[in-house]
Amino acid sequence: MRDQAIRIAHTDVVTIDDDITAFDKDGNTVTLDEDKIKIELDKLTADYDATEYQRKRVVEYPSVENQLDMLWHAMDDGTLTKVDAFYDINKAVKDKYPKE
């Protein structure tokens, strides 16, 4: 995350070597302002911490394919109101290639 903070704080940085040395497009060393980097690192850390729930959810949600399949079956058996555009196109494909 530090490399990202460096790039935000110092937009001229192209290459970062060992998290303490950075270079511009011409290979010149860029003097890093640690105060600016800390500010950006704090923002990135806060953003990361604020989205922890997303990282936890993504590993527990069923795959998108399985979620769509659940919706399809709920619509097909009438427990969920059919969304015509979704249902009709999927029904046409399922009818064209039925399970054998």
Write the pLDDT tens digit of every residue in 4-49: 999 999 999 999 998 889 999 999 999 999 999 999 999 999 999 9
pLDDT band at 91 (very low <50, low <70, confident <90, very high): very high
pTM summary value: 0.63
Question: What's the mean pLDDT in 76-98?
Answer: 92
Three-class secondary structure of residue 4 per DSSP: helix
Long-range contacts at 39-47 (CB < 8 A, ≥ 24 apart): 39/9, 40/4, 40/5, 40/6, 40/8, 40/9, 41/1, 41/2, 41/5, 44/1, 44/4, 44/5, 44/8, 45/1
Give the pLDDT confidence score for residue 18 in this predicted structure: 87
Question: What's the mean pLDDT in 71-83?
Answer: 93
